Structure 1
Amino acid sequence: MATFLQALSFWDWLALGTVLLILEVFGAGGYLLWIGLAAACVGVLAFLLPGLPGEAQVLLFGLVSVLTALYWWYRQRRVIRTSDQPTLNLRGQELIGKTFVVHQAIANGRGRIKVADGVWIAKGADAPVGARVRVIGQEGSILLVENLD
């Protein structure tokens, strides 16, 4: 092992960094990016400091890997992600405030309304088929409606 560490050159680190970055391109989800950059940094340092022992290179690689990963984690936590579509994939929330037609009469507080090409269970005041209702809320997969007619 000691012979291997003494024989490490900057080419080894640059090759490792390149391989890790190529693997990252194939979909590692960011995990290999920082380790690949750390290997490339150690390769550059090994080129600039030719007398750097192999043990120090490996130690430096571990340290830079951890530091770059922590930097990215800290940076990601500071970014506030706001969406221009906060109800995306919350279909019931997207429907609040919109008007629809009763598909199956709302009787005893329950019925069905036609929404685009689907039918949703509706809960609200009794309404006949064809009446217009507005969605005012949601309870799970049930839409709360108010009668407009």
Structure 2
Amino acid sequence: MEQLLSQITWWHWLVFALILFGVEMVTSTFDLLMASIAAALTAIFASVAPESATAWHVQILVFMFASVALIVLSRSVFPNMRKAAPEHPTLNKRMVQLVGQRGEITREFNGGQGQVRIGDTVWGAEAADGEGALNIGDRVVVDSTRSSMVIVRKA
């Protein structure tokens, strides 16, 4: 075993760093990312340090200390790195995105229902509670939504 370990060179560490990085891309733990960076730093150490200072046990110590230091540093300096980014509250919620938008009445409100043009789309609409008569051309604001209908009030 010692004979095998004594043949470790900088490119072994580089391959190990790439393998760890590949596994990190699949698992998203961020700890393997730090270990991958530590392996890359060990590869740099093994390539630039004098041969007398790059014995296999020294290389493994450099890797261990660098891994632990980077993991501790990443967990203390970047504690939120592991948290998933919150979803935007209206992402993929088309009807919710319409609340507050301004539009124009395109069809008379009969029985409390009509049509409103908001942007380049015509929506089925209902008058908000207590809203007076809404006529074609009136400017309205979307107060809320229900199913695929917008609830509007005069702007």
* Same fold, judged at TM 0.5 (above): yes
Residues 71 and 146 (structure 1), Cα distance of their counterparts in 2 relative to 1, 3 Å cut: same
What does 1:63-74 align with in structure 2 at a 5 Å threshold? 63-64=67-68, 67=71, 70=75, 74=79
Residue deviations 1:9-67, cap 9 Å, x none? 2232134446877x7xxxx5995854542221222344544123299369729945981
Identity %: 26
- Match of 2:54? 50
Could you tell me which of 115, 122, 125 is aligned with 2:125?
Answer: 122
> For residues 35 and 95 of structure 2, what CA distance do their matches in structure 1 show?
42
Aligned residues: 139
Q: Which runs of 5+ in 2 are unaligned?
A: none
Give the aligned CA root-mean-square deviation in angstroms. Answer: 4.6
Normalising to structure 2: TM-score of the pair? Answer: 0.54
Normalising to structure 1: TM-score of the pair? Answer: 0.56
What does 1:1-149 align with in structure 2 at a 5 Å threshold? 4-17=4-17, 28=25, 31=28, 34-47=34-47, 48=49, 49-53=53-57, 56=60, 60=64, 63-64=67-68, 67=71, 70=75, 74-76=79-81, 91-125=94-128, 127-139=134-146, 141-148=148-155
Cα offset for 1:115? 1.5
Q: Which runs of 5+ in 1 are unaligned?
A: none
Residue deviations 1:65-109, cap 9 Å, x none? 98176468625369x99x9xx867655455444431123333333
Residues 55 and 90 (structure 1), Cα distance of their counterparts in 2 relative to 1, 3 Å cut: same
Contact 1:123 1:144 in 2 (8 A): yes
